[in-house]
């Protein structure tokens, strides 16, 4: 019998320990969420400030598009302004996504606050309920007995004071319960308000994504209009050919300048260190083996092809990789960024020198995340897929040059 009782006691103790362990784990998880989200309200306020600035820029661009002067611009200039609006909308979408991410953290913090407030309320409620139960069982009879059991007038006064203290304690317990309950209500209301604000941002995100699709369609329609206008098409064809030649000249000049600067840096380090270990680590050199810069199928290869916009047969100096708008573009190899800019043909484009006579070009980006002079590693995100410049849809135009001559990228991938 004693053994059974001992086993029962051990089981109860173990059960209590397990419950306490689970409770502690839950508290630690929630506390971790709170620590992770402590300053998110300030971050959200900063993002909202950036959002207002983006909205101001968008209004400026839209005002350009709404003017009579816009209709008088060349088709190429119009496309540049539409590209600018598309890029800005993409930045607004990124901003809203960041706000939503911070709201998610803030909600976890609010949930933790509700958890703590509810715990305080439950504790106060349990104390008050126990006190009410005692009052129901004893009530005023207990108070009277305390007073009537006094042995003297001074004892009676002391007992009256004692009863008053008990009654004040009862009132304090009730007030503590009300305070705890109000804190719980306030925490829950704050949580619901934060959830409502996040839902509003999600709705804004849907609206912006729909706007982006409309803007892309408008830009593509403009390209189609150029195709149908023979005069404009000839101008555009000449512009693209001139841009391709100019960009290659700029690449060659930038590579030569980078090599000159790297040589000067190498010599400076040699003089400073007076050692064979020249510290050439400042010069970023690629492996010579390229990785695919985007995830998607190759829709157009290197070589002579029918141009998707103009319809004539001409040399295609790179490959086109189809991918969804806004997906990542990565550096095909390590190197130094020598170009990060926009022009009417390539749209947003980046050129990386890999320090071994090889350069890679990434065109039609919706956004660029690296600037000239930056060192990048193989596989590092440098921009996002887009359709800026002379482009009929979201894709990456990818070129590879060796010693100033464009080659088929497939030979290096």
Whether the CB-CB separation of 385 and 347 falls below 8 Å is answered with: no
Residue 328 has a pLDDT of: 96
Instruction: Round to whole Å and give the CA distance between 392 and 381.
Output: 24
Residue 155 has a pLDDT of: 57
What pLDDT digit, counting tens, does each position of 356-412 carry?
A: 889 999 999 999 999 999 999 999 999 999 999 988 889 999 999 999 899 999 999
Whether the CB-CB separation of 352 and 373 falls below 8 Å is answered with: no
Residue 400, beta-bridge partner list: 360, 407
Instruction: Round to whole Å and give the CA distance between 363 and 396.
Output: 6
Residue 128 has a pLDDT of: 67
Instruction: Round to whole Å and give the CA distance between 48 and 50.
Output: 5
Instruction: Round to whole Å and give the CA distance between 106 and 33.
Output: 9
Instruction: Round to whole Å and give the CA distance between 14 and 12.
Output: 5
Query: Which CATH class for the 237-411 domain?
Result: mainly beta
Q: Where are the domains of the chain?
A: 25-225, 237-411
Low-confidence ranges of the chain (pLDDT < 50): 1, 6-7, 9-27, 29-31, 33-37, 39, 140-141, 275-282
Instruction: Round to whole Å and give the CA distance between 251 and 253.
Output: 5
Instruction: Round to whole Å and give the CA distance between 74 and 71.
Output: 8
Instruction: Round to whole Å and give the CA distance between 389 and 341.
Output: 12
Residue 161 has a pLDDT of: 58
Four-CA torsion 272, 277, 281, 286, nearest 10 degrees = 140
State the first-to-last Cα distance of the chain, in angstroms, to the nearest integer: 79
Residue 383 has a pLDDT of: 96
Whether the CB-CB separation of 392 and 220 falls below 8 Å is answered with: yes
Residues 6+ apart with CB under 8 A from 338: 251, 254, 255, 257, 258, 351, 352, 353, 359, 372
Residue 235 has a pLDDT of: 65
Instruction: Round to whole Å and give the CA distance between 61 and 413.
Output: 40
* Report field, pTM of the whole predicted structure over 0.95: no
**Which residue has 């913090």 as its token pair?**
109
What pLDDT digit, counting tens, does each position of 80-125 carry?
A: 899 999 999 999 999 999 999 888 888 888 888 888 888 888 887 7
Residue 250 has a pLDDT of: 85
């Amino acid at each position: 019998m004693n053994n059974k009782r001992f086993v029962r006691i051990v089981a109860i103790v173990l059960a209590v320990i397990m419950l306490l362990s689970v409770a502690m784990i839950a508290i630690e998880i929630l506390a971790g969420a709170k620590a992770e989200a402590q300053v998110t309200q300030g971050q959200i306020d900063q993002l909202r400030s950036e959002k207002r600035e983006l909205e101001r820029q968008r209004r400026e661009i839209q005002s350009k598009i709404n003017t009579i002067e816009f209709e008088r611009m060349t088709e190429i200039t119009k496309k540049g302004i539409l590209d600018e609006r598309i890029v800005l909308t993409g930045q607004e979408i990124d901003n809203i996504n960041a706000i939503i991410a911070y709201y998610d953290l803030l909600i976890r913090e609010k949930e933790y606050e509700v958890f703590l407030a509810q715990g305080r309320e439950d504790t106060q409620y349990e104390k008050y309920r126990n006190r009410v139960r005692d009052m129901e069982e004893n009530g005023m009879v207990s108070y009277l007995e305390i007073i009537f059991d006094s042995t003297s007038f001074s004892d009676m006064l002391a007992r009256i004071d004692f009863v008053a203290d008990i009654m004040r304690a009862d009132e304090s317990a009730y007030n503590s319960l009300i305070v705890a309950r109000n804190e719980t209500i306030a925490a829950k209301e704050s949580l619901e308000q934060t959830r409502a604000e996040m839902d509003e941002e999600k709705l804004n995100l849907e609206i912006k994504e729909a706007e982006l699709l409309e803007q892309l369609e408008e830009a593509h329609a403009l390209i189609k209009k150029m195709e149908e206008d023979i005069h404009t098409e000839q101008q555009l064809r000449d512009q693209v050919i001139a841009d391709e030649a100019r960009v290659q000249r700029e690449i060659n000049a930038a590579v030569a300048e980078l090599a000159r600067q790297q040589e000067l840096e190498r010599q400076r380090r040699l003089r400073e260190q007076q050692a064979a270990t020249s510290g050439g680590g400042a010069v970023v050199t690629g492996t010579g083996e390229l990785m695919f810069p985007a995830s998607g199928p190759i829709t157009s290869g290197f070589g002579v092809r029918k141009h998707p916009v103009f319809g004539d047969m001409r040399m295609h100096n790179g490959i086109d990789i189809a991918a969804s708008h806004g997906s990542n573009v990565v550096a095909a190899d390590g190197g130094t960024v020598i170009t990060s800019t926009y022009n009417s043909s390539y749209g947003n484009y980046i050129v990386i020198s890999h320090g071994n006579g090889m350069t890679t070009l990434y065109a039609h980006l919706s956004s660029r995340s690296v600037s000239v002079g930056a060192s990048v590693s193989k596989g590092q995100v440098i921009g996002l897929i887009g359709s800026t410049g002379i482009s009929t849809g979201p894709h990456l135009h990818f070129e590879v040059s060796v010693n100033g001559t464009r080659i088929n990228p497939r030979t290096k991938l």
